[in-house]
Structure 1
Amino acid sequence: MRNKDRPIPTPDRPNFYGRRGSRPLKDSRKALVDAMMPSIGISYPDVEGVDPNSYFDGKPDQVWLEIGFGGGEHLAGQAEANPNIGIIGAEPFMDGVGSLMRHLNERNLTNVRVVADDSRPLLYKMVDACFDRAFLLFPDPWPKKRHSERRFIGPKNLALLARILKDGAEFRVASDDMQYISWTLQHMHNHPDFEWLAERPDDWRLQPADWVKTRYEQKALGQGKKCNYLRFRRKPRQA
């Protein structure tokens, strides 16, 4: 039976599964969130056809997207290494948002914009072919079979990504869960708009040259788990 307080899902407001918060933020993190979000936070737009360049001061050379940035280590590292790139990150878990704010504040980074919520309602409103790169790093694998449809990788979200990624844009997926890796490869192989860039085993066993480790990755490696790093390219659109 549906919870009467939960809105009926629509294509641009799908059901959300996962954590938004476990405990109140520490005072220092809350202060950063309260101070920084008014200037770098993105709310869900009411209109369609939004250009992500509009969220930045001046037009960045490219705009990248990170879906579920966790503690923000990767997003902040990429923003620091690529100051001319605008990066939009989405993360519904407020502890992660607070962690990212600390990284941005300590490094004085200004080329990041943040959706403190599920990414999908924003992405549905984006104009076609607007992102140059996207990341999905160590997402919740939803390991139980009955929960598999909750995984981000799936036909609906891949169709959404194919629409908003530019021709030739790169989509990176990383995980320490081999079931999720297999699931991703299967769905990406079945989607006509993406191609896997791997040519040899090291292409998915080793991190890309510009990689920035996440806390979840470091934890997995510390436990002796293997991580895989998948890179896909958005194929050119048919004329």
Structure 2
Amino acid sequence: MSENSQHEAGKAFFGRRKGKPLRDRQARNLEEVLPALAIDPFGPSPDDLRSLFAAEVNTLRLEIGFGGGEHLLHRVREEPATGFIGIEPFVNSVAKLLGQVEGAEPDNLRLYDDDAVAVLDWLPAASLDQIDLLYPDPWPKRRHWKRRFVSQVNLDRFHRVLKPGGRFCFASDIDSYINWTLLHCRRHGGFSWQAKTAGDWLTPYDNWPGTRYEAKARREGRSSAYLTFLKI
């Protein structure tokens, strides 16, 4: 199967949608809190993406696969003038994030709880300042590599929605996925890797809060790479 056909053939880039049963409060948050933050990528695309937010924002950032929300909420609180769109298809992770904002929903945050491809295809061209893909599902078995989110077709999507000079940031502790991403971005030709020395890509991003996936990697003896690409 070619990369260009993987999504259309129904091969999702994520695995299971739900884990252990939700507690009553978590289920209630999905019903009552999520709709206030959710975007609808099947409706009309906004002319100005800033209109999605109650806050006055001047930059726009997308995080694909926010997990438990540690990084996303850290950035949301750190950068009130940035509008954030967070995407996470795993129900339990969405519920965890909602539990942290319940009753004080940030006005610079919007969420989507399904496939990121729908949002990427809905966003206006040249509308984002940054895309974060942090510790994505590595699909470690070779036969599953075609399901990795970094692909030529998704890099085309990134390139379309990023502003000129916009950033694509990728972090992983899986060597094969790090190499995969570097090779795919080089092959694409629309992204410039910003590392000048080894220390550049082994050093976490500024004000990095860490994530639970990163903590697990450290416990298991794996280091991480933090790759930054600019749209050219």
2:28 to 21, 28, 31: 31
Render the CA deviation track for 1:142-173: whole Å, top value 9, x for unaligned. 11111111000010000000000001111110
Q: Which runs of 5+ in 2 are unaligned?
A: none
With normalisation by structure 1, the TM-score equals 0.88
CA shift for structure 1 position 36: 1.1
1 CA distance for matches of 2:7 and 2:203?
39
Range that drifts further, 47-56 or 150-159 = 47-56
Match of 1:89 among 86, 90, 93: 86
Q: Which residue pairs with 2:58 in the alignment?
A: 61
Q: C-alpha offsets along residues 96-120 of structure 1, whole Å, 9 cap, x if unaligned?
A: 1011112223865331100011111
Indicate if the aligned counterparts of 2:11 and 2:147 stay in contact, CA closer than 8 A: no
> Is the partner of 1:124 in helix, strand or coil?
helix
* Mean CA deviation greater in 46-55 or 143-152: 46-55
Judge conservation of contact 2:87–2:111 (CA < 8 Å) in 1. yes
What is residue 15 of structure 1 aligned with on the other side? 11
TM-score of the superposed pair, with normalisation by structure 2: 0.91
Give yes or no for contact 2:69–2:96 (8 Å, CA) kept in 1: yes
RMSD over aligned Cα atoms: 2.1
After superposition, the C-alpha distances for 1:203-235 in whole angstroms (9 at most, x for unaligned) are: 111102222211111111122211111111111
- Aligned counterpart, 2:182: 185
CA offset digits 1:177-204 (Å, max 9, x no partner): 0010000010011111100000111111
1:66-104 CA-partner distances (Å, limit 9, x unpaired): 001111100000001001111001100001101111222
Distance in 2 separating the partners of 1:71 and 1:48: 27
- % same residue: 37
Secondary structure of 1:97's counterpart equals helix
Q: How far does residue 25 in structure 1 lie from its aligned partner after superposition?
A: 1.3
Structure 1 gap segments, 5+ residues each = 1-7
Is 1:116 the counterpart of 2:130 in the alignment? no
